[in-house]
Structure 1
Amino acid sequence: MYEAVELRDGDKGKYLGHGVSRAVKNINEKISEALIGLDPIHQYQIDQALLDLDKTENKADLGANAILAVSIAACKAGAAEKEVPLYKHIADISGNTGLLLPVPAFSVISGGKHAGNSLSVQGIMILPTGANTFEEAMQMGSETYHHLKAVITEKYGADACNVGEDGGFAPNISSFKDGLDLVNEAIERTGYNERIKIAMDVAATEFCIGTKYDLDIKSPNKSGQNFKSGEDMIGMYTQLCTDYPIVSIEEPFDKEDWENTKLFSSLGICQVVGDNLLASNLKRIERAIHESTCNALLLKLNQIGTVTEAIEVVKLAKDANWGIVVSQRSGETEDSFIADLAVGLATGQIKAGAPCRGERLAKYNQLLRIEEELGDQADYAGERWRLS
């Protein structure tokens, strides 16, 4: 509800109402005319022209999907005009002097709205923080993913290896611990033990009922029997971080539960990532920084709507010494822009799904190409995790 508006057609007779012909029409008939004569090298001018044309705070007139598509296209055109790689152009326009290959957060277990199992948590991820290069991180992540498939097959059968929207496996488990045990065993089989850490995308907003959290909300026969208070959830997360090598938890509480998010973050146990709490929204990020609510930003481009605004919130998060995770969406495309964005802005982290499915691999393959192109100048962010 705090994201920029993604304009859909609403015609139930076409694409179940999810069509985007209105947004396309806005590009072809309104936006294109307003941008004639502007230089794509000057990203700020183009994005400001888009904002001036829309005039709404949440981009509801033209649609954030129309605005972002043009903003990204202009950014790519600017790089082409300068004859430099996209990530270098992004670094230039942001004033960033150092390029950084991000640590990938590979989704390996899917639940929540992303899968049809009974797991309330939206995803469990692995982070190859102990890799020395991005290429090595890809190898470690892929090997662990395939070992996990074998672990799940042995315990639950081959039909338990179907995958969720972001490519993570979706066995019919219901508890956080069951999922974490599967991932831990897969990591042990690879022999990478200390070199791979675990992250969770809880997406607690999806199972928050009033001020309580229903951990069995997806189990029809159990729903309402396993309610947890905010205090209970903090205790559970604290214990999980003790029992497993968890270094990051995303959206541990409801998007309006600022108090418990702050209490948990203050413990300093792990990176606490704001997703729906922040919605990549400048005002909410400023509030979270002021109140010390969390310590990391999940950056989703279409939540904010332009490349310039994304750069601004990243700078804000960096000034607060926050972690920054450039993120996919569940309905991804094969476009790889966020890979260049993560390198150009030196965010240090990227969440692009599992090491499978074309729309996920597109980002990882682009990062491999970037690392190869940078050669000896390539810098992988894993060392920063090890030092911290």
Structure 2
Amino acid sequence: MTRITEVIARQVLDCKARPMVEVDLVTASGHLGRGAAPTGSTVGAHEAVVLRDGDPGDYRGLSVHAAVRNVLDEIVPAVIGRDIVDQEGFDRILIDLDGTSDKSRLGANTVYSASVAFLRAQAHEAGQPVYRHIAREPLRSIPVPAFNMINGGRAGDVVQPFNEFLVVPVGARDIDEAVQMGVTLFAVLGEVLTRFAARPPGVGGSYGYLAPSCDPGVVLALMEDAVVEAGYAGRVAFALDCASSEFYDRERGTYRYADAEVTGAELIERVRRLSLDHDLLFVEDLLDEDDWAGFTLAKQVLDRTLILGDDLIVTNRDRLERAIAEAAIDGFVLKPNQVGTISEALDTHELARRNGILSTPSGRSGGVVDDIVMDLSVGLQAPFQKNGAPRSGERIEKLNFLIRAAQKIAGAELARLGDLARFSPGPAAGSAPSAR
């Protein structure tokens, strides 16, 4: 059992200088666990609720003083001095205290920070890294990091509706080479984009380069050019996070693709064509977060690309159960703060594992330096996981985490993504027509 002797909460800042809740939890044996609640720049409609104060004079409405008070006024009296057997028992106290389905009373950021703090305190008591503490099978592999290279959004007159363009070093020998490939590609891509636009590329919201074209095909072709210039032809796959809810017109039932307005079926077909020209390992959130029929169709049509749900699933077991019943996805993006507690996130992962659905751990755009999602990536033996662009501290730290874990886990090798059922690398990267 773990007896809790002290819980402290405070407002700190995430990597985008936005307020977030941080919780310290101390056990009777003197072990400290610390947890914080990152948030995304785009948040799915079905995510657990992040509680912010809304005072425009305090961090422009983003302060979290009420959430911190909820830790001190409600969670502390409920857990101090208690002997708690496990993570599920601790999280059950939090869930019952909140009493809502979406953590809206206490705030998901309140509950999540405490949940992570307890997990780390228990792991420290056991004398283990968190990834070993949560592992249910022998640790044999290190996940392949997927690098977010180009960000969508507005860049001058260019509006790229797709949110993220990623590279995945599927042909790396080990994690050290995978990291080197991602870092090298990012530098070479900057040079390719500078030549293309005759000016250095801007910085996107997730610290990747701003997309230089509204056409996803042009963006992918430029990335192919960078792969060839870097000497990695045939060893790199690509991926997309479309975040299509952001550009979905609910009244008209249409999406934006390049400069066109298209239906869901037309969007699926256009991305299918992209998958024939480029090795797309996965496509995330291709359709709106409530377009279940569209996801089912996409899974049928895109037969050599993994269909992932992020806003569709939001790490929620009930939504994953529906996705399984409707054969809507090949995998989901595991973001534990979306559901609010570690045990609920692990429960969703276990349901996915039993049904042959991939869990793809990912940080949030407003991340933290010491993100528990990295322990989940290794401990749950994910084949690949999502990282940001390799140019900000909290994102670099995620890469360093994988390098350290590979050294500590005897015999661990980089996961082999070519073994995934729906993905088999096609022609060498760089074989598609150049964007220039």
User: After superposition, where does 1:111-150 map in structure 2 within 5 Å?
Assistant: 111-112=152-153, 117-150=158-191
Displacement of 1:329 in angstroms is 1.3
Code of the residue aligned with 1:118 in structure 2: it is V
2:382 is the alignment partner of 1:382: no
Aligned mate of 1:60, from 72, 84, 104: 104
TM-score (normalizing by structure 2):
0.82
Displacement of 1:371 in angstroms is 1.0
- Which residue matches 1:85? 129
Displacement of 1:324 in angstroms is 1.6
Question: Is this contact kept in 2: 1:88–1:344, CA < 8 A?
Answer: yes
Once residues 340 and 155 of structure 2 are traced to their aligned partners in structure 1, the CA distance between those partners, rounded to angstroms, is 23
Once residues 154 and 114 of structure 2 are traced to their aligned partners in structure 1, the CA distance between those partners, rounded to angstroms, is 29
2:355 is the alignment partner of 1:313: no
Higher helix share: 1
Cα 1:116/1:330, change in 2 over 3 Å: farther
Cα 1:197/1:280, change in 2 over 3 Å: same
Cα 1:15/1:163, change in 2 over 3 Å: same
Once residues 347 and 4 of structure 1 are traced to their aligned partners in structure 2, the CA distance between those partners, rounded to angstroms, is 24
Aligned mate of 1:103, from 144, 148, 158: 144
- Which residue matches 1:245? 279
2:325 is the alignment partner of 1:284: no
Once residues 418 and 411 of structure 2 are traced to their aligned partners in structure 1, the CA distance between those partners, rounded to angstroms, is 16
- Which residue matches 1:219? none
Once residues 138 and 148 of structure 2 are traced to their aligned partners in structure 1, the CA distance between those partners, rounded to angstroms, is 30
Displacement of 1:269 in angstroms is 2.5
Aligned mate of 1:156, from 180, 183, 197: 197
Once residues 271 and 214 of structure 2 are traced to their aligned partners in structure 1, the CA distance between those partners, rounded to angstroms, is 16
- Which residue matches 1:209? 249
Question: Is this contact kept in 2: 1:115–1:165, CA < 8 A?
Answer: no
2:237 is the alignment partner of 1:193: no
Displacement of 1:383 in angstroms is 4.8
Code of the residue aligned with 1:146 in structure 2: it is A
Question: Is this contact kept in 2: 1:40–1:78, CA < 8 A?
Answer: no
Displacement of 1:379 in angstroms is 2.8
Displacement of 1:116 in angstroms is 9.2
Displacement of 1:4 in angstroms is 0.6
Once residues 156 and 132 of structure 2 are traced to their aligned partners in structure 1, the CA distance between those partners, rounded to angstroms, is 37
Question: Is this contact kept in 1: 2:334–2:360, CA < 8 A?
Answer: yes
TM-score (normalizing by structure 1):
0.92
Aligned mate of 1:231, from 261, 265, 286: 265
- Which residue matches 1:2? 46
Question: Is this contact kept in 1: 2:166–2:238, CA < 8 A?
Answer: yes
Cα 1:47/1:330, change in 2 over 3 Å: same
Question: Is this contact kept in 2: 1:128–1:140, CA < 8 A?
Answer: yes
What per-residue deviation string (whole Å, max 9, x for no partner) do you get for residues 220-248 of structure 1? xx6xxx11112211210111000111121
Question: Is this contact kept in 1: 2:153–2:210, CA < 8 A?
Answer: no
Displacement of 1:171 in angstroms is 4.0
Cα 1:114/1:327, change in 2 over 3 Å: farther
Percent identity over the alignment?
A: 34
Secondary structure of the residue aligned to 1:120 is: strand
Cα 1:99/1:24, change in 2 over 3 Å: farther
Displacement of 1:195 in angstroms is 1.2
State the Cα RMSD in Å. Answer: 1.9
Aligned mate of 2:331, from 288, 292, 296: 296
Question: Would you say how many aligned residue pairs link Structure 1 and Structure 2?
Answer: 375
Secondary structure of the residue aligned to 2:160 is: coil
Cα 1:228/1:144, change in 2 over 3 Å: same
Once residues 204 and 156 of structure 2 are traced to their aligned partners in structure 1, the CA distance between those partners, rounded to angstroms, is 5
Cα 1:356/1:38, change in 2 over 3 Å: farther
What per-residue deviation string (whole Å, max 9, x for no partner) do you get for residues 191-219 of structure 1? 21211100000111111113111225xxx
Cα 1:16/1:86, change in 2 over 3 Å: same
Of 329-338 and 95-104, the range deviating more from structure 2: 95-104
2:306 is the alignment partner of 1:265: no
Code of the residue aligned with 2:56 in structure 1: it is K
Structure 1 portions without partners, runs of 5+: 217-221
Once residues 176 and 305 of structure 2 are traced to their aligned partners in structure 1, the CA distance between those partners, rounded to angstroms, is 26
Displacement of 1:115 in angstroms is 10
Displacement of 1:38 in angstroms is 3.8
Once residues 172 and 133 of structure 1 are traced to their aligned partners in structure 2, the CA distance between those partners, rounded to angstroms, is 32
